[in-house]
């Protein structure tokens, strides 16, 4: 029996990718790189090679169940898990872990976001083979840390210690977690040589994560444990709808990983990006000789450099004398702003919602 499972977390709203990403169809369901696959389709295909399509679960908000099923025709519909409320990563991991543990007590799990980029899938598979072999027989919590190549302030960081002789030489003991540091601190992290970017990809067996929830988030653990008999039955939906909204709004990083003593990391390099902003899409996209990333042949650029331009295929645009700008048109929405202001897009979306309602967000 195959005891390897993958949980794809796909409930986010992707507001930093407005106006292409909206609350009705967020980033993970978009082909933001123009590859012919949406981000969740890429993620599903990537991990189906590792654990098989039948062992992949997607947990997403209730409103995205239908689009998930439409985009992933090879998934078992019973493996699409509906969250009745957005409560961050700890509750969604608890929920899926309980369901998978009930199906298979020997389950070994990969947890991954739905919307990240991986350009070297062979290297990822090699790293995951080491990780899964280790977590299968050891109650540790393992994460993949990305070897950094710039002082990025938009990522979390993991500091690691020396190798633990009990495990594979590539597996290091975690020393500290740091959330999105200021530039000066990020620069010091890079110089020190013992910090990694936090990829948000985790590997552990069902017992290890259950024990961690029981110890560090006991109220959350008890809420799901009390519904054990309902899981994977017709009674599950009603029970989850009752308890889920009252779960702590907590991340797995802060709720468990920053507190647990059995956390390890594998320093990794597999062409990873969290695609967290239009700027990161620009970085990963094909560009013309002037550094412009454009998705349409109906765009004329004059004296313009280092812009990202996305417009609908039935529209045309003329852009002159612009440098380092984001120009995104989607349906009845248009965004034009400097790339330096990309972190303010969430604020723009909030203002649009206040001013004009939900129609444009």
pLDDT tens track for 228-275: 999 999 999 999 999 999 999 999 999 999 999 999 999 999 999 999
Nearest to 199 by CA among 135, 276, 94: 276
Nearest to 270 by CA among 132, 118, 151: 118
Residue 164 pLDDT greater than 90, yes or no: no
pLDDT number for residue 18: 96
Establish how many alpha carbons lie within 13 A of residue 174's alpha carbon, considering only the half-sphere containing its beta carbon. Answer: 25
pLDDT number for residue 152: 84
pLDDT number for residue 245: 95
> Residue 108's pLDDT band (boundaries 50, 70, 90)?
very high
Distance between CA atoms of residues 315 and 329, nearest Å: 9
pLDDT number for residue 165: 83
pLDDT number for residue 149: 87
Residue 301 pLDDT greater than 90, yes or no: yes
Over residues 112-129, mean pLDDT: 97
Distance between CA atoms of residues 265 and 149, nearest Å: 18
Residue 163 pLDDT greater than 80, yes or no: no
Q: Which of 46-50, 277-281, 287-291 shows the lowest per-residue confidence on average (mean pLDDT)?
A: 277-281
Distance between CA atoms of residues 250 and 254, nearest Å: 7
Which uninterrupted H or E stretch holds 326? Answer: strand 325-330
Express each pLDDT in 10-41 by its tens digit. Answer: 999 889 999 999 999 999 999 999 899 999 99
Q: Which of 109-113, 174-178, 262-266 shows the lowest per-residue confidence on average (mean pLDDT)?
A: 174-178
Residue 112 backbone dihedrals phi, psi, to 5 degrees: -145, 145
Distance between CA atoms of residues 175 and 193, nearest Å: 13
List C-alpha distances in Å: 139 to 3, 177, 264.
15, 20, 11
E strand map for 149-213: 157-163, 172-178, 195-205
pLDDT number for residue 191: 85
Residue 115 pLDDT greater than 80, yes or no: yes
pLDDT number for residue 190: 87
Query: Other CB atoms closer than 10 Å to residue 273's CB: what's the count?
Result: 18
pLDDT number for residue 88: 95
Over residues 186-199, mean pLDDT: 90
Q: Which residues contact 62 (CB under 8 A, 6 or more apart)?
A: 82, 83, 84
**What's the burial of 37, exposed, middle or buried (CB within 10 Å: 0-12/13-18/19+)?**
middle
User: Which homologous superfamily is 4-273 in?
Assistant: Spore Coat Polysaccharide Biosynthesis Protein SpsA; Chain A (3.90.550.10)
Over residues 185-194, mean pLDDT: 88
Q: What are the domain boundaries of the chain? A: 4-273, 285-356
3-state secondary structure of 12: coil
Over residues 288-293, mean pLDDT: 97
3-state secondary structure of 321: coil
Dihedral of the alpha carbons of 240, 241, 246, 248, in degrees to the nearest 10: 50
Average pLDDT in the chain? 95
* Backbone CA torsion sign across 56, 61, 67, 70: positive
- Percentage of the chain lying above the pLDDT 70 cut: 100
List C-alpha distances in Å: 112 to 44, 118, 199, 310.
10, 12, 9, 27
Residue 133 pLDDT greater than 90, yes or no: yes
List C-alpha distances in Å: 161 to 150, 178, 185, 326.
21, 15, 19, 40
Express each pLDDT in 138-161 by its tens digit. Answer: 999 999 999 998 888 888 899 999
Q: Which of 5-14, 43-52, 113-122, 162-171 shows the lowest per-residue confidence on average (mean pLDDT)?
A: 162-171
Higher pLDDT, 306 or 161: 306
Distance between CA atoms of residues 79 and 103, nearest Å: 11
Residue 181 pLDDT greater than 90, yes or no: no
**What's the burial of 284, exposed, middle or buried (CB within 10 Å: 0-12/13-18/19+)?**
middle
């Amino acid at each position: 029996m195959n005891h390897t499972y993958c949980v794809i977390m796909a409930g986010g709203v992707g507001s930093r990718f407005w106006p292409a990403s909206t609350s009705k169809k967020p980033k993970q369901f978009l082909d933001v790189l123009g590859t012919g696959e949406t981000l969740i389709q890429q993620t599903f295909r990537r991990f189906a090679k590792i654990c098989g399509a039948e062992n992949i679960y997607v947990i997403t908000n209730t409103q995205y169940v239908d689009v998930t099923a439409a985009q992933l025709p090879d998934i078992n519909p019973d493996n699409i898990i509906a969250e009745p409320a957005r409560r961050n990563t700890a509750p969604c991991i608890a929920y899926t872990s309980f369901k998978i543990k009930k199906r298979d007590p020997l389950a070994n799990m990969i947890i991954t976001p739905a919307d990240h980029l991986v350009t070297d899938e062979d290297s990822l598979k090699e790293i995951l083979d080491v990780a899964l072999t280790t977590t299968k027989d050891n109650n540790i919590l393992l994460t993949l840390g990305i070897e950094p190549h710039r002082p990025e302030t938009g990522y979390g960081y993991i500091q690691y210690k020396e190798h633990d002789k009990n495990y594979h030489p590539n597996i290091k003991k975690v020393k500290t977690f740091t959330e999105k540091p200021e530039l000066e601190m990020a620069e010091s992290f890079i110089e020190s040589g013992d910090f990694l970017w936090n990829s948000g990809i985790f590997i552990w067996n069902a017992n290890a994560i259950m024990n961690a929830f029981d110890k560090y988030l006991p109220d959350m653990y008890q809420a799901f444990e009390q519904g054990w008999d309902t899981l994977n039955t017709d009674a599950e939906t009603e029970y989850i709808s009752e308890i889920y909204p009252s779960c702590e709004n907590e991340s797995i990083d802060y709720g468990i990983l920053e507190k647990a003593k059995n956390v390890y990391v594998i320093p990794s390099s597999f062409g990873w990006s969290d695609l967290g902003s239009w700027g990161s899409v620009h970085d990963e996209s094909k560009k013309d000789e002037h550094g412009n990333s454009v998705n349409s042949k109906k765009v004329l650029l004059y004296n313009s450099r280092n812009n990202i331009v996305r417009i609908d295929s039935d529209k045309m645009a003329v852009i002159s004398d612009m440098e380092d700008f984001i120009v995104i048109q989607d349906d009845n929405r248009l965004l034009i702003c400097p790339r330096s202001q990309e972190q303010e897009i969430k604020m723009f979306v909030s203002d649009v919602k206040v001013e004009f309602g939900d129609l444009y967000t």
